[in-house]
Structure 1
């Protein structure tokens, strides 16, 4: 384990202070914008109390702040090293023979560790708050139960041999039954082709104990006469407590919940690209934080007496924004399945890290 000396501890202390200031500024801006959005949107009629508005902001803002944390490390590290440079402390360190790697790499390692803490602890709390915000916004904005009951319900289940697509005209919230349900049953051929085999219409469909209990049923296979049943049971692998739950947004799930949710979505036959992408982005977050710290440090090592410090700082900010937009563009390409989710998530972080290390090599070692 690398042993930190007094210089490294001092630089880390300055960096943490600057990161705290940058985080406070960005958090204040985000919360101010969210306050205006909630006040003009959900609270346009003045029905929400001040405490309720603040509680909504408290659960909504953290998810946005977590997305902007790369800028916290960019601005915070840049501010710390520029301040050290302006006070000639970096000059004294370099004159004493201290390599820039001795205080840049600990700063990057600190950012990497904070990234791990963010992904494993802070981001799950922010995701939990985002899920609360989504449900509260739907409830306050008029997305009540009456609207939900009027919407059709679609489900899908099956395995490699049989697939079943289920449509309910509506769902009775008191009993959990599907009303006016239709079951489209397909068989899977050995070459993977899906062929329609049967359609079943039922007045009600109730999911309990691993089976669908249908009442007032009319069923028929292709080319055959329809048959009526008073009741009919169909096997099911859906869990009754989860079958009718809406899939949450990827941003509303923590890194601990994403694998299970992804497996459930794949088992239901739906595309899980957005969830795979979110999971890989969370894994790449510590590397992105470290890369932003190295990038900011590399741009602030130029001696004040040589001039152009302001230009270098502005260049670091512009380049950081550029990598952020590359990250967003890559995520859009991954969501559209143009490139794999793994590549879409890791490519921006790797490119940022390579660019930062290249600049640091050029600045320090020529």
Structure 2
């Protein structure tokens, strides 16, 4: 009986590394992205400097250095929002430059597929998108939140305090909701003044009913409890009772009684899940914050799609020979997808469509259009 010997065969495993061509294209793309980022950042900072000078600067005597500091707090959030155009213009500029120098023609003549240098460029945009969402974006959001607080403080210093604005809060869990109204607040002593607590309970059927009202002279929040002084409370169908001091459990943090919820754009990426949970527990709508979270998660895909779209239009220049027309078409299409993203976000904020669909539909459509154009360009 013959014996069959089996010997191991070393199968070639594709190496996950970039060749010389890919590295060269990536260097060209990163350089063009840096130039596009510099131009867009300069324009944004110039516009913000003028806006802050004419807005806050006209109401108060702000020095040039103070205006510059406020601009540096506000501009990063706007620049991050315009980063899709950085990838569109930067990638388009890089590949158009390669095409003008006939380097793309030489690569294609040597049998190099367009996918070989387009996909690494898209992968680079994807990685930069992840870095933007996880590192740069939170820093920009924190700076924007600081700018909003500084603007309110500067604007408040020149506003009349004769008619203070009433404070409204809402907190609670599924079984109990509390609506709080204060005629004014004492920030120096962290107190609410002339405050009323309207307490609602939820039955097993999900119906909410009013159960108790408590009026107090002052209310201060500390260690998860409201401390009320000179309070009077009455339950439904019962007589009113007076309290010198009364403690009510609270789900708010100590500083939330005096700070409104930050805007979705001012909330860092890592803080959004907790913020959504807090707003939901308080009984408010968290649609804008859930939409913001999904938009941030879809940002890397949007950056990669913009890069592929720009590269695909640049590749067609070799065959059509119309540089200006195709470059303008790429820019117009990029603007169209950007405004589609804004329109979809508006639909999501209005709860016309779910936040998930509103955030992911424009990047997916952009990616599909880019891949379709690239397939048509490469394979005819």
Normalised-by-shorter TM-score class: over 0.9
1:295 to 309, 321, 326: 309
Matches within 5 A, 1:223-242: 223-242=237-256
By how many angstroms is 1:143 displaced?
A: 5.1
Partner SS state of residue 357, structure 1: helix
Equivalent position of 1:263 in the other structure: 277
Equivalent position of 1:204 in the other structure: 218
Looking at structure 1, the residues matched to 223 and 119 of structure 2 have their Cα atoms a distance apart, in angstroms, of 57
By how many angstroms is 1:46 displaced?
A: 7.5
Q: TM-score, normalised by structure 1?
A: 0.95
Equivalent position of 1:73 in the other structure: 87
Matches within 5 A, 1:76-115: 76-115=90-129
Instruction: Give aligned pairs, total.
Output: 366
2:67 to 28, 38, 53: 53
Q: Residues 91 and 303 of structure 1 are in contact (CA less than 8 Å); yes or no, is this contact kept in structure 2?
A: no
Gaps of 5+ in 1: none
Looking at structure 1, the residues matched to 239 and 60 of structure 2 have their Cα atoms a distance apart, in angstroms, of 60
CA RMSD after TM alignment:
1.9
Matches within 5 A, 1:121-270: 121-142=135-156, 147=161, 150-270=164-284
By how many angstroms is 1:139 displaced?
A: 2.1
By how many angstroms is 1:258 displaced?
A: 1.1
Equivalent position of 1:356 in the other structure: 370
Structure 1 segments of 4 or more deviating over 4 A?
A: 143-149
Q: Residues 232 and 241 of structure 2 are in contact (CA less than 8 Å); yes or no, is this contact kept in structure 1?
A: yes
Q: TM-score, normalised by structure 2?
A: 0.91
Deviates more, 1:231-240 or 1:186-195: 231-240
Gaps of 5+ in 2: 1-14
Change (3 A) 1:232 1:141: closer
Equivalent position of 1:365 in the other structure: 379
By how many angstroms is 1:178 displaced?
A: 1.7
Partner SS state of residue 156, structure 2: coil
Equivalent position of 1:315 in the other structure: 329
Deviates more, 1:161-170 or 1:356-365: 161-170
By how many angstroms is 1:235 displaced?
A: 2.6
Looking at structure 2, the residues matched to 187 and 146 of structure 1 have their Cα atoms a distance apart, in angstroms, of 39
Q: Residues 348 and 355 of structure 2 are in contact (CA less than 8 Å); yes or no, is this contact kept in structure 1?
A: yes
Listed one character per residue, the Cα deviations across residues 27-58 of structure 1 (whole Å, up to 9, x for unaligned) are: 11111111211221222268222222221211
1:5 to 19, 25, 28: 19
Q: Residues 138 and 144 of structure 1 are in contact (CA less than 8 Å); yes or no, is this contact kept in structure 2?
A: no
Looking at structure 1, the residues matched to 32 and 108 of structure 2 have their Cα atoms a distance apart, in angstroms, of 21
Change (3 A) 1:188 1:38: same
Q: Residues 179 and 203 of structure 1 are in contact (CA less than 8 Å); yes or no, is this contact kept in structure 2?
A: yes
Listed one character per residue, the Cα deviations across residues 141-191 of structure 1 (whole Å, up to 9, x for unaligned) are: 235797599222222222222221111111122322221111111111111
Listed one character per residue, the Cα deviations across residues 236-294 of structure 1 (whole Å, up to 9, x for unaligned) are: 23332433322111111211111121121112111111111111111111100000000
Looking at structure 1, the residues matched to 216 and 156 of structure 2 have their Cα atoms a distance apart, in angstroms, of 31
Q: Residues 170 and 178 of structure 1 are in contact (CA less than 8 Å); yes or no, is this contact kept in structure 2?
A: yes
Partner SS state of residue 212, structure 1: strand
By how many angstroms is 1:115 displaced?
A: 0.6
Deviates more, 1:294-303 or 1:236-245: 236-245
Q: Residues 149 and 173 of structure 1 are in contact (CA less than 8 Å); yes or no, is this contact kept in structure 2?
A: no
Looking at structure 2, the residues matched to 105 and 294 of structure 1 have their Cα atoms a distance apart, in angstroms, of 8
Partner SS state of residue 315, structure 2: coil
Equivalent position of 1:64 in the other structure: 78
Change (3 A) 1:232 1:254: closer
Larger Rg: 2
Partner SS state of residue 201, structure 2: strand
Q: Residues 149 and 171 of structure 1 are in contact (CA less than 8 Å); yes or no, is this contact kept in structure 2?
A: no
